[in-house]
Amino acid sequence: MNYRETFSSIYNVLSTLDNNGQTAQYIPELAQVDPEKFGVSLYTNTGELHSFGDAQEKFSIQSIVKVLSLALAYTKLSSKIWERVGVEPSGTPFNSLVQLEYEKGIPRNPFINAGAIVVADILISVLENPEEEFLTFIHSMIGDTSIEYNTSIAASEKSCAHRNLALVNLMKSFENIKNDIDRVMDFYFNICSICMTTDELAKVFSVLSNKGTSLVSEKEILTPRQTKRINAVMQTCGFYDESGEFAFKVGLPGKSGVGGGIVAVHPGEYSIAVWSPKLNKKGNSLLGSKFLEAFTTAVESSIF
Ligand code: DON
């Protein structure tokens, strides 16, 4: 299969359609990203990398990192992690406050902001040097040490983080945040600011297409059982109140970020990362979602 040709013909069709999305407006640094960027990378379980467009350009992975922070926390806490955060879809936007009050500060799942903030709090408790050890964890998946935090994106998000601060304060009042709020939020903004290319993202996510072992570094990062569970949570919760639609149209577990990235995984087959900065109203890449739908349709490859 000539994947580059498939990518190019899907892109050519989709780029003629209206893309009335917008870059993430609530984070000033992200609002300024070139909205026309587009990159896609497919990494097969046979070790082939197929890319197209701006696939070697770094962008902020934002909420895609929530999968990686969950993975690290899961390896540290094992199933005790589910006492602090649930595994149910929320059916609400990624930054919503409404369920937290009546569910007593236990977020529905680790991929909405509240859940990822709890996971950040867990990592602050269990890691000695959280920022350093988190990067080491990512480096161990890709056998490369060039992946870094972007301090201006982290500072930009911190400067207007009113909703996230409301979430963390509410959870602190229910005693589901154990550490100092400012420390937890700095770590959360830092991990969201991490920049990667679609080539790198597709490679990192080979851990989830290959039962927990990175195809690049050949290191066992997660057990097959942990991998199954993280993929299940991606399938049901990876796109917030659009998770059903993504499953329906694309048919793969995946995760989005407001930087415009989406990663999806076909266990046993491949991982695929796409980047297009304009977002739809649910905060997911508009062209990225359409591209993945067209891709799994064209190659007749989904988990269903
Ligand atoms: O906390 C936030 O709002 C951002 N750092 C991450 C949100 C995000 O990426 C939502 N995903 N589509």
For ligand 1, whether the C-beta of 52 sits within 6 Å is no
Q: Crossing angle of helices 286-298/3-14, nearest 10°?
A: 130
Which structure tokens are listed for 49? 């990398």
Mean pLDDT of the chain: 97
Confidence of residue 2 (pLDDT cuts 50, 70, 90): very high
Could you tell me the distance, in angstroms and rounded to a whole number, from the CA of residue 300 to the centre of ligand 1?
A: 31
For ligand 1, whether the C-beta of 284 sits within 6 Å is yes
Looking at residue 145, what is its pLDDT? 86
Confidence of residue 149 (pLDDT cuts 50, 70, 90): very high
Which structure tokens are listed for 232? 């299940």
For ligand 1, whether the C-beta of 95 sits within 6 Å is yes
**Residue 80 near residue 226, CB atoms below 8 Å:** no
Q: Is the pLDDT of residue 19 over 90?
A: no
What's the mean pLDDT in 276-291? 97
Read off the pLDDT of residues 245-275 as tens digits, 9 standing for 90 and up. Answer: 999 999 999 999 999 999 999 999 999 999 9
For ligand 1, whether the C-beta of 157 sits within 6 Å is yes
Which structure tokens are listed for 31? 């609002």
Q: Which of 60, 62, 262 to mutate to test the pocket of ligand 1 (most atoms within 8 A of CB)?
A: 62
Read off the pLDDT of residues 211-247 as tens digits, 9 standing for 90 and up. Answer: 999 999 999 999 999 999 999 999 999 999 999 999 9
Could you tell me the distance, in angstroms and rounded to a whole number, from the CA of residue 113 to the centre of ligand 1?
A: 7
For ligand 1, whether the C-beta of 258 sits within 6 Å is yes
Ligand 1 atom closest to 259 (CA): 9
Confidence of residue 28 (pLDDT cuts 50, 70, 90): very high
Long-range contacts (CB closer than 8 Å, 24 or more residues apart) made by 31-34? 33/59, 33/259, 33/260, 33/277, 34/277
Looking at residue 7, what is its pLDDT? 98
What's the mean pLDDT in 12-35? 94
For ligand 1, whether the C-beta of 69 sits within 6 Å is no
Residue nearest to atom 7 of ligand 1 (CA): 63
Ligand 1 atom closest to 157 (CA): 5
Q: Which of 92, 113, 189, 275 to mutate to test the pocket of ligand 1 (most atoms within 8 A of CB)?
A: 113
Q: Is the pLDDT of residue 38 over 90?
A: yes
Q: Which of 271, 274, 255, 265 lies closest to 62, judged by CA?
A: 255
pTM > 0.85: yes
Ligand 1 atom closest to 192 (CA): 5
